[in-house]
Amino acid sequence: MMVWTDPELERAILTAHNRGIHVEVLLADMRDAVALNLQRAGIAISTNPHLNFMHNKFMIVDDTTLVNGSANWSRSSFSRNDESFLIINHLDSEQTTYLDEYWTDLLTR
């Protein structure tokens, strides 16, 4: 995620984490307050300075669902901008393998 300032999404992730859900987050940097709040809560936050202008905005849920869209997770993206999202349920093993490899690449590039 390049920009994450939306407090509702922050609360949803913190709530999931507090219920014992394993959460990992990859951000461009730690400049947003959300990043620091998630890190303080014990959520695994990774940054990769080699990802200039990272425009990925996706979430993988339980290795079965992909949520991908154009919006940064910011207040304006969800209240003023015209954005799009695609949700793919029931990922097959080939899709899951690709996403796992892509995630690893983003972390290590």
**Residue 75 pLDDT:** 82
Q: Which of 29, 55, 63, 105 is catalytic?
A: 55
Tell me the per-residue pLDDT of 10-37, one tens digit each, with 9 for 90 and over: 999 999 999 999 999 998 788 889 999 9
SS3 call for 50: coil
Spell out the per-residue pLDDT of the chain, length 109, in tens: 777 889 999 999 999 999 999 999 998 788 889 999 999 999 999 987 777 767 788 999 998 999 999 888 888 888 888 999 899 999 999 999 999 999 999 888 8
Q: Is residue 69 part of a domain?
A: yes
Active-site residue, 63 included = no
- 82 assigned to some structural domain: yes
Domain membership of residue 24 as a residue range: 7-108
Give how many domains the chain has, as a whole number: 1
CA distance 91 to 64: 5
**What's the CATH code of the domain at 99?**
3.30.870.10
pTM, entire model: 0.77
Cα separation, 31 vs 36, in Å, equals 8
Which residue in 22, 50, 62, 90 is the catalytic one?
62
Can you give the pLDDT at residue 20?
94
Whether residue 1 lies inside any domain: the answer is: no
Q: Is 29 a catalytic residue?
A: no
- Residue 62 annotated as catalytic: yes
